[in-house]
Amino acid sequence: MNRSERVKERLESARRRRRPFRSARRKCFPKPRVGSFLLGGGRWTGRSRGLQARSWGYECAGSENERYAMGSGRKQGDERVRRLRRSGAAWTVCLCLSGAGLLAGTVEAGGGTLIVLNKSEASVSFLDRDSGREVFKLPVGEGPHEVAVAPDGKTAVVANYGARTPGSTLTVLDLPSRSPVKTIDLGAFKRPHGIGFLPDGRRVAVTSEVKRALLIVNVRTGRIEKHFDTTQEISHMVALTPKADRAFVANIGSGSVSVLDLTTGKLPAVIQTGAGAEGIAVTPDGKEVWVANRGADTLSVIDAASLKIVETIPCKSFPIRIAFTPDGRFALVSNARSGEVAVFDTRSRKELRRIPMRAKAKGDKDERLFGNRFGDSPVPVGLLIPPDGRHAYVANTNADLITVIDLKTWKVVDRFRAGKEPDGMGYSPLDLTTP
């Protein structure tokens, strides 16, 4: 058999196997467009004259409301959002041709489960962190606003803030069994909101707006063990020091932070920070406390030792939540009015950039907590950064979306669907994709 006949036979063999001929490999697969790598779902099919990419529609990270076929850059009309399941340290979509792998795209994955509270649905969605797929959903009390996850990742406690009628309960969820196991009635301590687990994994600290208080609640017994008076109005969010010996409570109505010693029960200080003090977080090393003053469009930096404000930083457009990267180098601030997340260098205390959420509010704004206050902004509120520090997750409460930000590139790399009015979020390292 001469060379020409051998080539012809190989071509025919490739056609029968419905696989591309080896020598055509570079021509048959177009180079993926920037920003169009596999954020959505789809399937690859081999053809005799080349590879074709087939996909369901998905929102490309780099371009709002644009949908592309995977790797090909072709627009798709399908409005559905699908995603590939990913697994392992990184997910990779490959097609092997004659023993050689052809890389279509790679996005680092972190594993674990996102816990998303849907304020208007009285529910909690559990999302696979890597794919964004809703694994299951559980009912909780009316108006769930914030959630705390135990150090072992097995228990979550939801603060049921209520809607028009003030809420006064906590819902305890057992994550491995996927079930609510207890409802704790807080009695007169209505409007529970900010919440965090103590290191023992048995107790939570939770605010009560109505009673201007911080409670220590035993999750196992359902008892309120202690309560502290903040002396301020609308005690909303709470941040604990790494050892949980002190709590810092942001008081929206008073524009202040109450400092509570959880060991002695004393109130060492009340610090005036600015109008609408709401978002609050302690740096990972415990040395500073940052406060988002939404009414003043500022951030206050408090020295945790002296309890003095060491700097006030401008932050426009209704700053409402703060989260630090695990190494403490950056602070992320969600800005409800502009629909952006601002990134600050914690050393220089300078704003470095703003990341637009590239989403619009739903048409039913009148039925939501913030109404038409911020126009078409998606109203980013809740912020979550898991311990591995790879991504930040932002709850866009008026768009029903969770935006995923890559913390290396500072780009939006994905969007996950949520229930109505997602707000508070938590993270469990447990894989809950199988019962």
Closest CA to 105 of 42, 163, 150: 42
Task: Supply the DSSP string of 316-343, one letter for each residue.
Answer: -S-EEEEEE-TTSSEEEEEETTTTEEEE
Average pLDDT, stretch 176-204? 98
Average pLDDT, stretch 174-195? 98
User: What percent of the chain lies above the pLDDT cut of 90?
Assistant: 71
Model confidence at 118: pLDDT above 70: yes
Q: Are strands 288-293 and 298-303 parallel, antiparallel or unpaired?
A: antiparallel
Q: Which two tokens stand for residue 59?
A: 């929102």
**Would you give the DSSP letter of residue 12?**
H
Average pLDDT, stretch 28-35? 39
Q: Which two tokens stand for residue 133?
A: 């797929």
pLDDT, tens digit, 9 for 90 and up, residues 137-183: 999 999 999 999 999 999 999 999 999 999 999 999 999 999 999 99
pLDDT of residue 248: 99
pLDDT of residue 82: 36
- Of the CA atoms within 13 Å of residue 205, those in its CB half-sphere come to 25
Closest CA to 369 of 394, 340, 400, 402: 400
Query: CA angle 156-157-158, nearest 5°?
Result: 120
- What end-to-end distance do the CA atoms of the chain give, in Å? 59
Kindly report the backbone phi and psi dihedral angles of residue 17, in degrees, each rounded to the nearest multiple of 5, phi listed first: -80, 0
Picking from 70-74, 111-115, 187-191, which range would have the lowest pLDDT averaged per residue? 70-74
Other C-beta atoms lying within 10 Å of the C-beta of residue 212:
20
Q: Which two tokens stand for residue 272?
A: 């005036």
Alpha helices in 218-263 (DSSP H): none
Confidence category of residue 16, pLDDT binned at 50, 70, 90:
low
Average pLDDT, stretch 265-291? 98
Average pLDDT, stretch 217-229? 98
pLDDT, tens digit, 9 for 90 and up, residues 408-431: 999 999 999 999 999 999 999 999
pLDDT of residue 332: 99
Picking from 107-121, 148-162, 272-286, 299-313, which range would have the lowest pLDDT averaged per residue? 107-121
Closest CA to 381 of 350, 338, 415, 326: 338
Alpha-carbon 248 to chain mean position: 22
pLDDT of residue 366: 81
Q: Cβ contacts of residue 434 below 8 Å, gap of 6+?
A: none
What one-letter code names the amino acid at 205?
A
pLDDT of residue 365: 80
Task: Write out the residue limits of the CATH 2.130.10.10 domain(s) in the chain.
Answer: 115-428
pLDDT of residue 116: 99
pLDDT of residue 70: 30
Q: Which residue has the tokens 């990270």?
A: 61
Query: CA angle 151-220-178, nearest 5°?
Result: 65
Average pLDDT, stretch 1-27? 54
Model confidence at 334: pLDDT above 60: yes
Confidence category of residue 42, pLDDT binned at 50, 70, 90:
very low
Task: Supply the DSSP string of 157-226, one letter for each residue.
Answer: EEEEEESSSEEEEEEEEETTTTEEEEEEE-TT--SEEEEEE-TTSSEEEEEETTTTEEEEEETTT--EEE
What length does the chain have? 435
pLDDT of residue 224: 98
Q: Which two tokens stand for residue 188?
A: 């007169």
Q: Cβ contacts of residue 96 below 8 Å, gap of 6+?
A: 102
pLDDT of residue 78: 37
Give, in words, the CATH class of 115-428: mainly beta
Closest CA to 73 of 85, 62, 89: 62
Q: How many whole angstroms separate alpha carbon 416 and alpha carbon 402? A: 5
pLDDT of residue 188: 98
Q: How many whole angstroms separate alpha carbon 345 and alpha carbon 349? A: 5
pLDDT, tens digit, 9 for 90 and up, residues 363-407: 888 888 888 899 999 999 999 999 999 999 999 999 999 999 999
Closest CA to 300 of 324, 334, 330, 277: 277
Considering only residues 38 and 328, tell me which one the structure prediction assigns the higher pLDDT: 328
Q: How many whole angstroms separate alpha carbon 142 and alpha carbon 119? A: 8
Q: Cβ contacts of residue 200 below 8 Å, gap of 6+?
A: none
pLDDT, tens digit, 9 for 90 and up, residues 299-319: 999 999 999 999 999 999 999
